[in-house]
Amino acid sequence: MNELLFSYGTLQKTNVQLQLFGRVLKGSADTLQGYTLATIEIKDENFLLNGEDTYQQTLVPLNNSTDRIKGIVFEITDEELLLSDQYEPSNFKRSKVKLQSGKEAWIYTATLE
């Protein structure tokens, strides 16, 4: 069964997709409403060893549904979703949301300290 994953950051990079999944993902533009972006410092050494920047953006839910984040929704396999879980920094969690298109997709958000 395939899953949908909404990316607003590093998973949109071709080199990350090739390294993580061994292929370039197919996706389409979509929008997530009711969120904004915040920049946080990543302290997960395993994530940083992949060559990623120390400062990354994360989604922050808002009560204001007029805020929007543009991104790409990718169709991936269950196995690839588990690979994504392992790739994301340790303080990021996965949750399901409804996108502007009506599709339900997984997102990753950081737990802010």
82-104 residue pLDDT tens: 999 988 877 889 999 999 999 99
* Arithmetic mean of pLDDT over the chain: 86
Whether the pLDDT of residue 42 is over 90: the answer is no
Q: Which of 29-38, 59-68, 75-84 ranks highest by mean pLDDT?
A: 75-84
- CB-based contact 106:92 (threshold 8 Å): no
- What pLDDT sits at residue 109? 85
Domain that holds residue 21: 2-110
pTM of the predicted structure, to 2 decimals? 0.82
- The predicted model gives 16-42 an average pLDDT of 89
Structural domain count of the chain:
1
* CATH code assigned at 76: 3.10.490.10
For the chain, percent of residues with pLDDT exceeding 70:
87
- The predicted model gives 34-55 an average pLDDT of 73
Describe the chain by its helix, strand, coil percentages, rounded to 5. 25, 45, 30
Strand order in the sheet with 27-33: 27-33, 68-77, 2-7, 104-110, 92-98
- CB-based contact 11:74 (threshold 8 Å): yes
